Structure 1
Amino acid sequence: MTANVFGGLSRQALDWVESNWQGAVLEYAKPLEGGTSSLLYEIFATKDGKQHSVVLRLHHKGEWLDQEPDLAKHEAMSLELAAAAGIPAPLIVAFDESGTACGMPAVLMTKVSGSVILPPANDRAWLDGLAKTLANIHRHEASGFPYEYFAYNDARRLERPKWSRVEGDWMRAFYIVAAGGPPADYRLIHRDYHPGNVLWEDGQVSAVVDWANACRGPAGVDVGHCRVNLAQLYGTRVANEFLLAYEYYAGPSFTYDPYWDLLSLVDTLDGSPAVYPGWQAFGMSGLSDELVRFRLDEYLMSLMERFDDF
């Protein structure tokens, strides 16, 4: 085994993969694009006379592991839950919660077919597929799943956004979110559902990936997170079209409340907004930091109007 052929993966990591992938003779590996919170590799091997591949996720960010030291176990349990629920997702092969065996906390999973598609402009069939897939995820109650939703940002501690043209409206949004949300039924939520985590094949959704944050929580959190991403990618109108499509597929099981949209928007703030690197890795062009900030302001104002009308 040579480091170059295996994309710089350590001998320790490769030995761990081989020991958990019975009968496989490792051949080479390549980094996968789009991952920003962890290292992703596709590892190829010969097994039973045929070539197969698996995906290895390595959690390397110390600040994330300090907050959630069981990230690998969390994703492994989430993948088991998704499989039991019949949700198209990778299957868990093995995980190393502490990183003692692999060198870093690790998740080894099957490689699912399909690829991320970010159309250059709104595509109704694409948006429809995103909405239908998310509604199907939310049909599962995930009773007994030990992970529950929590907000990523404390709205009471957020500073005035100097980058915005509507600073005062952002401060009002912080106050609304800090006051707390409405009662909500808890369902299985992906917690990072956006176009970069949905794979397509032959015009259909083939799988949903990146389950490291799945938990039980309000469906509106998933809907809101996807809407924030769509607003940045394509504008508020497309985010609204996604909401309408989701409401259609979810039916009476979902009651919209703009609070979850506002919380999801506030949850994305981490300094001055900028273009998410994963979008560029998947071929999305034409975005700039200035455009993203403009669209976030526009989206915020659309949510504040919903509160006025609610």
Structure 2
Amino acid sequence: MIDHDEAGAVRPLTLAWVSRHLQDGERIVRTEALHGGITAEMRRLTIGTPHGGTRDLVLRTFVDPVFVQHAEVMLNREAGVLALLTGTGVPTPGPVGVDPTAAQCEYPSLLMTHLTGRTVLDDQGLEARVPLLARQLAAINALRPAERPREYEAWTTADAVVPPDGADAAAWAAATDVIRRPPPPYEGRFLHRDFQPGNVLFDVEPPGLAGLRITGVVDWVQTSWGPADLDVAHCSTNLAMLHGPAWGLRFAEAYEEAGGALAATASERLYWRLLDALAFASGVRWVARPWQEAGRTELTTRAVERRLDAYVTALMDALG
């Protein structure tokens, strides 16, 4: 008998598929839903070993029709990237099995190893975490894999930007004009493309901040090749919405302090920062939901929209 929490129950065909990837004598003894994802269902599977021990795996399943139609490309990409990153020093899960077209499972799925640690979204301790995030991202961007990933894709265009209600109209109009320009030239780097606190695991067991360390970086479905500024911009926007605009501005400084290299001019940096920030304008509610589920209930859609507006205005003041 498998111990499920209600949300963590695994569908029968998928359960059978996972079982075929286990070692002799192993069995699934518990399944548990993992919260915080936006595009897919995530579950932790506890595996009982023949000698009475346990180990954990993680199952990603795309069930939303919008994402199912892209699942084959996304899951194959992530499985390939996880294999590519093995041995690089970047703490990532290892791929165990992938069924990108739902040939054997009810829905497209990826099975991978489980990493210790947890996401930390609280304001407390942020000053200690930001340098760790910056160092980890600089290490990712410095990778030079034998196989280069696909070129990055912009997630918005100037014509698609709709400012949140009550936003500073003048600042948003000026910001939109910035991303209407052609992209600046850049030196290509290896990009996670969704590097942000919700995709980074920390070991928070040791008392105090001295033992704080990153134990994992997850969710590699958007891995790309492009300007490091774009990865920095994405983490900066998330920090601004989670913790306030000042932290969005601070992250780029921390990245350079960690040895990362950004675009040479303020106008180039502004372009990439706004290209990311403005892409959130119509999707704040999707970002805020997992933060609320994680306990940040004060981060309502409206509250996050106000922080995004303040961040865009701060970028225009600082770099415009």
TM-score under structure 2 length normalisation: 0.88
How far apart, in 2, do the equivalents of 1:81 and 1:98 lie? 21
The one of 262, 280, 290 aligned to 1:254: 262
Alpha-carbon distance change, 168 to 143 in structure 1, aligned in 2, over 3 angstroms: farther
Please name the residue that 2:209 is paired with.
none
Matches within 5 A, 1:165-244: 165-201=167-203, 202=206, 203-244=212-253
Give, in angstroms, the shift of residue 223 of structure 1.
Answer: 0.6
Please name the residue that 2:307 is paired with.
295
The answer as to whether partners of 1:88 and 1:207 remain within 8 angstroms in 2 is: yes
Alpha-carbon distance change, 223 to 237 in structure 1, aligned in 2, over 3 angstroms: same
Q: What is the aligned residue count?
A: 306
Please name the residue that 1:125 is paired with.
128
Please name the residue that 1:10 is paired with.
11
The answer as to whether partners of 1:21 and 1:93 remain within 8 angstroms in 2 is: no
The answer as to whether partners of 1:120 and 1:284 remain within 8 angstroms in 2 is: no
How far apart, in 1, do the equivalents of 2:164 and 2:118 lie? 37
1:286 matched to 2:294? The reply is: no
How far apart, in 2, do the equivalents of 1:3 and 1:200 lie? 27
How far apart, in 2, do the equivalents of 1:77 and 1:110 lie? 14
1:74 matched to 2:77? The reply is: yes
The one of 88, 112, 116 aligned to 1:113: 116
1:62 matched to 2:74? The reply is: no
The answer as to whether partners of 2:116 and 2:216 remain within 8 angstroms in 1 is: yes
How far apart, in 2, do the equivalents of 1:279 and 1:271 lie? 14
Give, in angstroms, the shift of residue 67 of structure 1.
Answer: 4.5
How far apart, in 1, do the equivalents of 2:301 and 2:5 lie? 36
How far apart, in 2, do the equivalents of 1:167 and 1:102 lie? 48
The answer as to whether partners of 2:161 and 2:279 remain within 8 angstroms in 1 is: no
Structure 1 residues without counterparts, runs of 5 or longer: none
Give, in angstroms, the shift of residue 289 of structure 1.
Answer: 2.8
Structure 2 residues without counterparts, runs of 5 or longer: 207-211
Show CA shifts across 1:193-225 (max 9, x none): 111111111411111111111121211111111
| Percentage of identical aligned residues | 30
Give, in angstroms, the shift of residue 294 of structure 1.
Answer: 1.8
How far apart, in 2, do the equivalents of 1:273 and 1:15 lie? 35
Please name the residue that 1:95 is paired with.
98
The answer as to whether partners of 1:41 and 1:55 remain within 8 angstroms in 2 is: yes
Give, in angstroms, the shift of residue 56 of structure 1.
Answer: 0.4
Give, in angstroms, the shift of residue 155 of structure 1.
Answer: 2.3
Give, in angstroms, the shift of residue 121 of structure 1.
Answer: 4.0
How far apart, in 2, do the equivalents of 1:79 and 1:37 lie? 18
Amino acid at match of 2:262: F
Amino acid at match of 1:262: L
Give, in angstroms, the shift of residue 22 of structure 1.
Answer: 2.4
How far apart, in 2, do the equivalents of 1:243 and 1:156 lie? 27
Alpha-carbon distance change, 171 to 68 in structure 1, aligned in 2, over 3 angstroms: farther
Show CA shifts across 1:162-218 (max 9, x none): 513312322332222121221111111111111111111141111111111112121
Q: CA RMSD in A?
A: 2.1
